[in-house]
């Protein structure tokens, strides 16, 4: 089974260490055998070595590697009759075949990333563009995971970039309105939005290519909640808090100095009086 | 308006910073960060008008900064531009999405409107939602203090100290509140803690000096130490009337009255727009028996700043003894209107109405308002009781004084309890109850011994008065003489001199020929 884009992206979040598997040598005289039995003997013989290579090319992702290893096995089985006469080093041939498949998969993912590159196409409120491409249950998972990932990355943007970006893409405001709201020039807002886009595009490309190690476990609880909702209510539209008007949560810590600053009125000089009211 | 700024940190190269920041904001007028720095600098330099303009510009450029709005609101509030402050606070409230902050800002708005009841409710709500936020407790304590509720203030500041035992502001306010309820032992502990933590803090130094002057630590080695502290205060705030007041009273307690008065006369002349200078000068003249001059100076202070309760209270005392009742009368209504939440204002006006204007019933009903405002405060009951006694309503006076007695702290409270015991003795004597009057005077004598460690001249004065009531002529004379030697001030000094003449004459009459 070919793992779809969403599934791969999801499982790519789990990082595993690759194992160093032992390489076993095959006697060269056995290479003249033409029946499929020989293929399976070879496959079994090189299995551990080939899997270790596959795991390495898939960046240590065991799920991706297993999936791809199955595909490679089928492809090799199919092509064996055509190539068996020309194969002098079967281990190298099998190894190359697996490597090519791995490269194909990486290229495919990169192409996906390119397709979601244009931020104007992404509706951050409901991710319509992203979800429209993903139909299977795995795609649903991926869509929510992507939502959580983007949340995380947008939250991680520097404040000055985040504000402008959210107003532009999550609240769909014009540059003019944002400039007015943040008391900045339109040029400045545009510049900030572009900077935020560049940062996010790079991160998203990495993520879609499976090169981002961001673990869902490391996300803040609020973002993990977004992901967990996929299991209980998969059809429910998650309302992003970015849809509500910009707030100033982070700036709400009331300043201690401002609070303690006060006009000191004249003090009653108790020590010069015979009683607190100065009465006798 | 004249404000003396006390800053946490020593200002360094302010002019240079001001020049650099001004140039920067001119070059980049759209930025807000440097402009905010500039506004803070101007605010710290006391240039509030310009600071306000800069803060407004910062808000225009970065409207989401709630704290800048609160800072601007606070300056406007301090400048008595309450309407503008309310507007600014209102805009901050609209931006806030945190309930605790919203209640806090609502409280600030209520303070500007003079509605301390609502302010307290709002700050209470904020503390309930966010009990770990010191700022809510501080704001609550400040409002309680401003409406002369030391019990409520103490509760709030204790919470601050439970969150941060080293909070100097809370320690100072707690000291004041504990002095207000009469718990001198606990107050002293707070002050000692504050001294250990921040010996050079302006507020700490001031209170430390008040305490040392009260204890008459003005001569010998202790005197040197007191002088040293005054020097430190003067160096820190060379233009603060409070620092010169401490120096003046140091001289007064040493017996150098002319020198003490001279210090404040000079300060007032050099700072003619500073109401505090005229206030302290007026107080000093009053305490040295120069009532007419004192009245003039206090009226100058009042003319410059009619928003301070202490100036009104001083005018009530001075104009009464100076016999300037025509000038005093219009001030009474003004006081009640301006400070309706302060129990001491109602008690003071009540006393003036009874004593100076013989408006007995009105005076008594006005002072009764004080106990309505602070029904758990011993001082409020004692004040009302004294007004009733002066109105010759001794039965009611005794009831009020004895109720107040129930609210005294278990330990301490001598500055409050000694006069109350003397007054109770006098009221019982007026009712012909010799046994109870003797009992209360004896109580006063016992407690005045405790008061000596805090304020010996005051303790001797009350002891003399109690002994006089008990018929111990020689004991009373001795106590009165001690009080005079320890620089008991006028007008009590005048009263004591008269009593001494009377007692000495009686002593001569009774002594064997």
Q: Is the pLDDT of residue B486 over 60?
A: yes
Report percent pLDDT > 70 for chain B: 97
- Cis upstream peptide for B427 (omega within 30°): no
Would you state the structure tokens that stand for residue A179, as one six-digit string?
A: 């400039």
Would you state the structure tokens that stand for residue B466, as one six-digit string?
A: 């109690």
Report percent pLDDT > 90 for chain B: 78
Which of the residue ranges A47-61, A265-279, B59-73, B113-127 would you say has the lowest mean pLDDT? A265-279
Contacting residues for A30 by C-beta, under 8 A, at least 6 apart: A38, A41
Instruction: Compute the average pLDDT of residues B450-476.
Output: 93
Instruction: Compute the average pLDDT of residues B420-431.
Output: 96
Minimum-distance CB partner of A266 among B133, B279, B455: B279
Give yes or no for a contact between B325 and B353, defined as CB atoms under 8 angstroms apart.
no
Contact flag A274-B461 (C-beta cutoff 8 Å): yes
pLDDT at B184: 86
Residues of A in contact with B249 (CB under 8 A): 269, 272
How distant is the alpha carbon of residue B157 from its chain centre? 17
Would you state the structure tokens that stand for residue A153, as one six-digit string?
A: 């990355």
Identify the CATH number of the domain defined by range B408-513. 1.25.40.10
Q: Is the pLDDT of residue A134 over 50?
A: no
How distant is the alpha carbon of residue B167 from its chain centre? 21
Query: Going from the N-terminus, what domains does chain A have, and what CATH number goes with each?
Result: 5-115 (1.10.1740), 120-244 (no CATH)
Residues of B in contact with A257 (CB under 8 A): 8
pLDDT at B334: 95
A89-118 pLDDT, tens digit each: 888 999 999 988 988 888 887 776 665 555
Per-residue pLDDT band at A253 (split at 50, 70, 90): confident
Residues of A in contact with B311 (CB under 8 A): 266
Residues of A in contact with B491 (CB under 8 A): 280
CA distance B213 to chain A (A): 7
B434-444 pLDDT, tens digit each: 999 999 999 99
Q: Is the pLDDT of residue A242 over 80?
A: no
Contact flag A258-B344 (C-beta cutoff 8 Å): no
Q: Is the pLDDT of residue B299 over 80?
A: yes
A154-207 pLDDT, tens digit each: 888 888 888 888 888 877 788 888 887 787 778 888 899 989 988 888 887 777
What is the per-residue DSSP string for chain A? -PPPHHHHHHHTTS------PPP----GGGGG--SHHHHHHHHHHHHHHHHHHHHHHTTT-HHHHHHHHHHHHHHHHHHHHHHTTT-S-HHHHHHHHHHHHHHHHHHHHHHHHHHT--GGG--TTT-HHHHHT--SHHHHHHHHHHHHHHHHHHHTS-HHHHHHHIIIIIS---HHHHHHHHT--HHHHHHHHHHHHHHHHHHHHHHHTT-----GGGS-HHHHHHHHHHHH-TTSPPPPTTSSPP--GGG-S--HHHHH----PPPP-GGGSSSTT---
Minimum-distance CB partner of A248 among B64, B313, B489: B64
Q: Is the pLDDT of residue B25 over 80?
A: yes
pLDDT at B204: 94
Contact flag A183-B214 (C-beta cutoff 8 Å): no
Question: Residue with structure tokens 């100072």?
Answer: B172
Contacting residues for B446 by C-beta, under 8 A, at least 6 apart: none
Start-end of H helices in B147-183: 150-163, 168-181
Contact flag A248-B308 (C-beta cutoff 8 Å): no
pLDDT at A164: 87
How far, CA to CA in Å, does A201 sit from each of A118, A125, B343? 8, 18, 67
Has the ipTM of the complex gone over 0.90? Answer: no
Q: Report the phi/psi class of residue B392: left, alpha or beta, with left for phi > 0 and alpha for psi in -120 to 50.
A: left
Contacting residues for B199 by C-beta, under 8 A, at least 6 apart: B205
Distance, in Å, from the CA atom of B125 to the CA atom of B127, rounded to the nearest integer, reads 5
Q: Is the pLDDT of residue B464 over 90?
A: yes
Which one of A258, A271, A278 makes the best mutation probe of the B interface by having the most chain B beta carbons within 10 Å?
A: A271
Residues of A in contact with B347 (CB under 8 A): 277
Residues of A in contact with B214 (CB under 8 A): 270-271
Would you state the structure tokens that stand for residue B468, as one six-digit string?
A: 């006089």
Contact flag B308-A258 (C-beta cutoff 8 Å): no
pLDDT at A10: 29
Question: Residue with structure tokens 């301490």?
Answer: B412
Instruction: Compute the average pLDDT of residues B70-93.
Output: 93
Instruction: Compute the average pLDDT of residues B467-487.
Output: 95
Q: Is the pLDDT of residue A7 over 80?
A: no
Q: Is the pLDDT of residue B95 over 50?
A: yes
CA distance A267 to chain B (A): 7
A136-155 pLDDT, tens digit each: 444 555 666 777 778 888 88
> What is the count of residue pairs from A and B with beta carbons less than 8 Å apart?
135
Distance, in Å, from the CA atom of B364 to the CA atom of B384, rounded to the nearest integer, reads 8
Q: Is the pLDDT of residue A26 over 70?
A: no
Per-residue pLDDT band at B169 (split at 50, 70, 90): very high
3-state secondary structure of B199: coil
Per-residue pLDDT band at A252 (split at 50, 70, 90): low
Residues of A in contact with B179 (CB under 8 A): 270
B245-266 pLDDT, tens digit each: 999 999 999 999 999 999 999 9
Query: Considering only CA atoms, which of A169, A248, A167, A249 is closest in space to residue A201?
Result: A169
Q: Is the pLDDT of residue B39 over 50?
A: yes
Distance, in Å, from the CA atom of A277 to the CA atom of B355, rounded to the nearest integer, reads 15
Write down the mean pLDDT value for chain B: 92
3-state secondary structure of B407: coil
Distance, in Å, from the CA atom of A184 to the CA atom of A193, rounded to the nearest integer, reads 12
Give yes or no for a contact between B428 and B420, defined as CB atoms under 8 angstroms apart.
no
Write down the mean pLDDT value for chain A: 68
Which of the residue ranges A15-29, A30-44, B209-223, B361-375 would you say has the lowest mean pLDDT? A15-29
Contact flag B71-A253 (C-beta cutoff 8 Å): no
B389-408 pLDDT, tens digit each: 999 999 999 999 999 999 99
Would you state the structure tokens that stand for residue B179, as one six-digit string?
A: 């002095």
Q: Is the pLDDT of residue A71 over 60?
A: yes
pTM of the full predicted structure? Answer: 0.69
Which one of A167, A266, A267 makes the best mutation probe of the B interface by having the most chain B beta carbons within 10 Å?
A: A266
B179-232 pLDDT, tens digit each: 988 888 899 999 999 999 999 899 999 999 999 998 999 999 999 999 999 999
Give yes or no for a contact between B93 and B115, defined as CB atoms under 8 angstroms apart.
no
């Amino acid at each position: 089974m070919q793992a779809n884009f969403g599934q791969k992206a999801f499982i790519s979040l789990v990082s595993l260490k690759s194992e160093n598997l032992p390489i076993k040598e095959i006697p060269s005289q056995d290479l003249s055998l033409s029946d499929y039995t020989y293929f399976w003997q070879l496959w079994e013989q090189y299995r551990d070595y080939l899997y270790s290579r596959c795991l390495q090319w898939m960046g240590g992702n065991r799920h991706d590697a297993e999936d791809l290893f199955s595909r490679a096995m089928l492809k090799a089985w199919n092509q064996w009759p055509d190539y068996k006469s020309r194969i002098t080093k079967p281990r190298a041939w099998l190894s190359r075949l697996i490597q090519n498949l791995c490269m194909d998969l990486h290229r495919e993912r990169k192409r996906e990333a390119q397709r979601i590159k244009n931020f104007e196409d992404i509706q951050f409120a409901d991710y319509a563009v992203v979800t429209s491409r993903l139909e299977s249950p795995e795609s649903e998972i991926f869509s929510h995971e992507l939502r959580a990932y983007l949340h995380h990355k947008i939250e991680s943007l520097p404040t000055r970039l985040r504000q402008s970006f959210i107003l532009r893409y999550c609240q769909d405001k014009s540059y003019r309105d944002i400039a007015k709201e943040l008391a900045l020039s339109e040029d400045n807002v545009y510049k900030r939005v572009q900077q935020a886009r560049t940062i996010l595009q790079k991160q998203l490309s990495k993520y879609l290519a499976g090169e981002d190690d961001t673990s869902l476990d490391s996300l803040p609880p609020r973002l993990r909640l977004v992901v967990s909702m996929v299991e209980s209510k998969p059809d429910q539209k998650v309302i992003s808090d970015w849809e509500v008007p910009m707030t100033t949560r982070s700036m709400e810590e009331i300043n201690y100095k401002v609070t303690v600053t006060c006009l000191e009125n004249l003090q009653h000089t108790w020590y010069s009086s015979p009683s607190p009211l100065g009465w006798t | 308006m004249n404000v003396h700024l006390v800053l946490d940190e020593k200002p360094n190269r302010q002019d240079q910073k001001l020049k650099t920041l001004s140039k920067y904001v001119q070059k980049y007028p759209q930025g807000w960060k440097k402009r905010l720095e500039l506004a803070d600098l101007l605010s710290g330099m006391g240039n509030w008008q310009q600071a306000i303009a800069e803060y407004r510009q910062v808000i225009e450029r970065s409207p989401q900064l709630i704290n800048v709005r609160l800072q601007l609101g606070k300056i406007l509030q301090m400048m008595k531009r309450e309407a503008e402050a309310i507007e600014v606070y209102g805009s901050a409230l609209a931006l806030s999405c945190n309930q605790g902050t919203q209640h806090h800002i609502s409280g600030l708005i209520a303070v500007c409107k003079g509605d301390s009841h609502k302010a307290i409710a709002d700050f209470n709500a904020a503390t309930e939602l966010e009990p770990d936020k010191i700022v809510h407790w501080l704001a609550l304590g400040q409002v309680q203090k401003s409406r002369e509720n030391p019990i409520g203030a103490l509760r709030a500041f204790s919470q601050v100290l439970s969150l941060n035992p080293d909070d100097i502001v809370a320690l100072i306010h707690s000291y004041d509140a504990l002095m207000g309820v009469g718990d001198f032992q606990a107050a002293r502990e707070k002050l000692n803690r504050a001294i250990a933590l921040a010996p050079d803090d302006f507020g700490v130094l001031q209170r430390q000096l008040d305490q040392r002057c009260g204890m008459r630590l003005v001569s010998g080695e202790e005197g040197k130490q007191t002088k040293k502290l005054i020097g430190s205060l003067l160096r820190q705030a060379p233009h603060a009337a409070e620092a010169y007041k401490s120096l003046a009273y140091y001289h007064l307690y040493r017996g150098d009255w002319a020198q003490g008065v001279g210090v404040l006369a000079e300060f007032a002349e050099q700072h003619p727009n500073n109401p505090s200078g005229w206030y302290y000068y007026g107080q000093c003249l009053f305490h040295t028996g120069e009532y007419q001059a004192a009245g003039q100076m206090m009226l100058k202070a009042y003319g410059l700043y009619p928003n301070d309760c202490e100036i009104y209270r001083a005018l009530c005392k001075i104009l009464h003894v100076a016999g300037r009742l025509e000038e005093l009368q219009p001030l009474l209504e003004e006081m009640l209107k301006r400070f309706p939440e302060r129990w001491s204002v109602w008690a003071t006006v009540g006393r003036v109405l009874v004593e100076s204007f013989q408006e007995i019933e009105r005076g008594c009903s006005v002072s009764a308002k004080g106990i309505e405002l602070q029904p758990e405060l011993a001082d409020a009951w004692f004040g009302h009781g004294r007004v009733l006694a002066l109105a010759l309503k001794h039965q009611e006076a005794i009831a009020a004084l004895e109720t107040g007695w129930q609210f005294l702290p278990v330990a301490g409270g001598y500055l409050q309890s000694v006069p109350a015991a003397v007054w109770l003795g006098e009221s019982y004597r007026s009712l012909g109850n010799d046994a109870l009057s003797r009992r209360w005077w004896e109580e006063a004598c016992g407690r005045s011994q405790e008061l000596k460690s805090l304020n010996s001249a005051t303790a001797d004065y009350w002891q003399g008065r109690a002994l006089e009531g008990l018929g111990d002529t020689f004991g009373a004379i001795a106590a009165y003489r001690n009080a005079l030697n320890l620089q008991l001030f006028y007008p009590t000094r005048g009263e004591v001199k008269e009593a001494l003449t009377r007692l000495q004459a009686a002593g001569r009459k009774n002594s064997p020929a």
